[in-house]
Structure 1
Amino acid sequence: MKKLAIISTHPIQYNAPWFKLMATRGNVELKVFYTWSQAADTVKDKTFGQDIKWDIPLLEGYDYEFVENVSKKPGSHHFFGIDNPALITQVKAFTPDALLCFGWSFKSHFKAMRYFHGKIPVWFRGDSTLLDETGGIKTSLRRLILKTVYRYVDKAFYVGQANKAYFLKHGLKEHQLVYAPHAVNNAHFEDTDARNYEHRALQWKRELGIPEQQTTVIFAGKFEKKKQPDVLIDAIIAANKNRQQPIALVMIGSGPMDQVIKEKAKRQDNIWMLPFQNQTMMPLVYRLGSVFCLPSQGPGETWGLAMNEAMASSRPVIATDKVGGVKDMVLQDVNSYCFQHDQVSALVEILETLSSETLKVMGLNAKEHSNKFTLERIVMAVESTIGGSQIKEVQ
C-alpha cells in the first residue's frame, strides 16, 4: 500500500472528514502532520474576535502528528508563523511515497516542498484565484515569485475553474493538474426522520418571531468589509420598499463590523441578529431561510464553502462574481443567482423578485447539483494519482 504524508497547519472542519474517509477506505496509508501545534484544540480567529473550537471531531479516524512550532509569533497569517525544525525529520520517518502540502506561504511548508522535490512526488492543495488581481508591478512580481514556488510542485489538486486558471497562470501545465473539487460533508446536512432538520428549523423561526411563510434571506459569516454584510442590509431595505410582502433577513456571526451591522439592523422590523453558530447547528441555520446570500467583494473569497453547505441543505444561494466557486456551483436562475459585486442595484433587483415557490424549486436543483461536489471525489482523485493500489468504488 502506498503511503501519503499530508502537511497542514491545523485541523480544519472541511479537511478532516475526507482524511478520515481516505483512512477508512484503506487504499492509501496516510499520516497528517499538523504544523501549528498551538492550534491543537482551538484556533484564535482574529476576525471573529474569539477562540473557535469546533463541536465536531476533527482528529478521529486517521493518523496524525502535531509537529512542534517554535515560532515566536505562531499563526497561519504570516510566513514565519509556522516554524517546525523537526518537520522534515518526522515526515521522513514515515517514509511516504508522496507528499501533499496545504499552502506554501509558511516557512516550514515551503522548506519541506523544496527538500522533498525530486525525492518523492510533491503535491499541492490550495484554492487561490486570479479574481482579486489588479495588475501593475506588484502583480508582476508576485507572478514571478509564484512561478518559482510552483516549480517544486509535481501535481496540484485544483478545486474548480477559477483555481485551475490560477495554477495555469503560474507555470503549472495541464497534465500536472488533477480535479478534486472543494466539498463539504454533504451527509452532515442531509435531512432524515431522526434529524428532522426542516421541522426544527421551522420551530426556531417561530421562536424568533419570523412569520412562517415569510421569504427569508440568511447571512452567516464574519462581519467584515470583504463580505459586505452592510451592503446586504441596505439592499434588503431597498428591495422591501418595492415588495408587497417584505423579506426577512437573519444575520448570523460577528466581526469588526459588529457595531455598524447592529446599528443598521436595530432600526428594521425585518432583520434578526444571531451570534456565531457552530457546525452542529449549521444544517438548521441554512434551513431558517429560503435562500443564502454571500455578497462578498473580496479579496480572498477563494471559494465560499458556505455555498456547498447551503445547497446540500436544499437552499439556493445569491453570490457575487468575486466568490471563487461561483462558476462551478451557480447555475444562473436554475439553482442560484450571481450578481456583480459592485452592482448593488443588481442585488436589489434579485431580492425584489424572490418568491417562495421559485426558491423551493431552485433549492431542489441546488441539492442535486451539490451531489457533484463530494468528499468521495476528492479522495478518489488522490487515490488515483498515487496509484499502485486497487482503488475501491465509492459505496
Structure 2
Amino acid sequence: MSSLGSSNGELSSGLTQGLSSGNLSSAGSSTPEVHQELSRNYGSSLSAIDTTFGILGLLGDNSTVLTDMWKSEQDAYPFPIDDSITTAELVSRSATNEPGRERWIVSSPSMGRNVEADVLVGEGGPVVYFLEGIDSPKTSNWIKGGYAQKVFSDTDATVVIPAQGAGSMWQDWDNDDPVLGRHQWDTFLTEELAPIVEEEVPHNGKRGLIGLSMGASGAVMMANNNPGFFDGVAGISGCYSTTDSIGAGTVKLTVGNLGGDPNNMWATPEAWERNDVVLNPEGLRGTQLYLSAANGEITDEEVAYYADKEITDQITGSLLEAGSRHCTENLSAALTKSGIEHTTDFLDQGAHGWPMFGPQLQPAWDGIKSAVL
C-alpha cells in the first residue's frame, strides 16, 4: 500500500507540474506497468482527476493540454453556415462498399449546413441512434471498428450515426462558437433527422439512443430533455452532472480540448443547471435506461494498446474512466432516489478507450432492446 500511495502522490504532483507548465510530457516518470498498478486504486484515481480538473480550471475553459490524443479531423471546423437552408430533407443516400451500410446527407436548417451520417439499414425494426465521443469523426469509430455491424447484423434495427459533432456534447448551443461553429444537435436529431429516417426506412415506431463518453452524456441529456421521445437509452462511460466538480470539469475539458468555449454552449448558470441530469432526472421516467462504466484499472490488453503511445494517454484513459464511474454512480443514486428504474453495469477493469468501449456495445444493446423490439 505504501508503494501505491507513493506512486499516486508522484502522479498527482507530476500532473500538477505538467499541466501548470503546459507540458504534460513532464507528468511524472511512471512507466505503463507502474501506472497499471496505480490504476488499481479507484479512490486514488478520483483524487488525481480532481487535481487535474482543478489545474485545468486555473488554465481556463479552453485548456487543451490533457487529451491531445483525441484531436483529429479538426480542420473542417467551423463549418460554413448556409442560411439559405430552410428545409430539412434528404440530400443524398449513397451505398457504400459494405452491404447494408449507407452514407446519408441531410440538410439542417437548425445547423445551417448539410450533416452526414452512417446508416445501417434495417428491415422494420427500431431506429437506434448512436452518439459518438469527443472526436466524432467523419466515419464513426463504431463503423470503422466493425462493432455496430457485428452487434446489429442479426437484428431488424436501423442504426443511424450522425457525424462530425466534435466537442459539441450533442447539445443545442446558446451561441455559435468561433472555433467549433454552430451546434444544434438536439433540434437536428429529434425534429429534423428522425422524421426523415422514419419516412425513408421501414420501422416499428420505436427509437433507441446509445452513446459513449461525450455521446453518453449527450444521449442521457437529450433523452431527459425530450421525455418519451426515446424508448430505450444506453450510456457507456459518460458523465451526467454539469455542476459538480468532476461533471463540470468533464464538460469544460470536452469542449475546451477542441478549442471551443463551453460558455457558448450554455451561456448562463441556469442553463448549466438545467442540463444537470443528476439534479433533474425526471425526464427519464418511463425510458428503459442502461448505464455502464469501468473503474479505470488498466488491463494487460490496454497496456499493449497504449504501448506505442505516450504514457500520458494511458494515464488520461484511466483517470477519465474513473471519473465516468463516479459520474455514473452519482446518476444511479439520483435515479434510485427518484424511483426511476434503470440498469447499471460496473466493470471491474477498463480505461476510457476503444478496448473497453467496443465490447460494451453488446451489453448496452441487450440492456435496452426489450423496450424497442
Q: Which has the higher helix share?
A: 2
Higher RCO (C-alpha under 8 Å, 6+ residues apart): 2
TM-score, normalization by structure 1: 0.27
Give the alignment's TM-score, normalised by structure 2: 0.29
